[in-house]
């Protein structure tokens, strides 16, 4: 199942920078591991915002939910999740 997920990050301004940097480092390692597994297929930064849009390829809604809740920055995020289906006009065979 493919999902587009927009993540808007809102780290509290009063969070010490050392703690924020530590959380971001753990987040990066977590996301890169999911990318290597093929579950987090794409990630793009949204220009001018502390946001990204990503494509996930997971087995179920529950798996996506678990992955997203595992993000170290999850408590500081607003997310918009959109399930995706293959378009019949697509010429790509790998977008299922």
Domain ranges of the chain: 2-84
User: Which burial class, exposed, middle or buried, applies to 20 when counting CB atoms under 10 A from its CB (0-12, 13-18, 19+)?
Assistant: middle
pLDDT of residue 96: 61
Please check the confidence at residue 95 and state whether its pLDDT lies above 90: no
What is the rounded CA–CA span in Å between residue 20 and residue 17? 5
CA atoms within 13 A on the CB side of 35: 10
Helix ranges restricted to H, the chain:
17-37, 61-69
C-alpha torsion sign, points 19, 23, 24, 26:
positive
Any idea which residue has 């006009």 for tokens? 89
pLDDT tens sequence across 30-80 = 999 999 999 999 999 999 999 999 999 999 999 999 999 999 999 999 999
pLDDT class for 87, splitting at 50, 70, 90?
Answer: confident
Superfamily name and number for 2-84? Dimeric alpha+beta barrel (3.30.70.1060)
pLDDT class for 93, splitting at 50, 70, 90?
Answer: confident
């Amino acid at each position: 199942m493919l999902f587009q997920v927009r993540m808007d990050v809102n780290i509290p301004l009063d969070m010490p920078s050392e703690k924020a940097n530590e959380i971001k480092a753990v987040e990066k390692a977590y996301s890169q591991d999911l990318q290597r597994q093929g579950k987090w297929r794409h990630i793009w930064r949204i220009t001018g915002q502390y946001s990204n849009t990503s494509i996930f390829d997971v087995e179920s809604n529950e798996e996506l939910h678990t992955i997203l809740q595992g993000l170290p920055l999850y408590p500081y995020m607003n997310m918009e999740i959109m399930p995706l289906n293959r378009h019949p006009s697509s010429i790509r065979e790998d977008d299922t």
